[in-house]
Structure 1
């Protein structure tokens, strides 16, 4: 499925995305703290761009989807030493920027890159 129209994505953001995204981020962090539910927490963080603006993630059926991704070991080490704290800081700064009209475009840009900041996951090609 291709990207939804900019009109639909804008309506989603205005009515749903702006308030659901912080909820998803906080639920993901609670799951990450449990360690056992960490994979679900990471999956939620990887879905933040979709929750925010209905951006389509890479499809697992897409043959090129895995191209350009770092290895799972590299991503795991990055998450353990850097990603867990940097992404929490990144998401909170983005949430603060989203409270202002001037900061909103930067906040959307930052939240769309949250999966990469968290675990080096490339959301888009």
Structure 2
């Protein structure tokens, strides 16, 4: 079932959202100081391509640096990407078939707002429920 949902997701909105994350990552990689945000954006792009069967968990070793980085990310890129997830999620929830895809889009909002200090893991991993 996850495979079918991932294929439908990829066709309807996954490709577009992943391209938005890749664009944000490329913009972040232009300057040397913003490369960590670019790497985080590329990780989220892979998650946005194939979200079913994976989830995000907080990293216990993330400190004040990731908090500061998340604030900077939120100001420059996070809220734009979250807005894209909100609009796409609402559009997908209009149809019955699109409701699981809309919920998956809403699931991506927290990581699009604050990507640093989070890790993408398979849902069947023992630590995925934290």
Q: TM-score, normalised by structure 2?
A: 0.42
Q: Which has the bigger relative contact order, CA under 8 A and spacing at least 6?
A: 2
Q: TM-score, normalised by structure 1?
A: 0.44
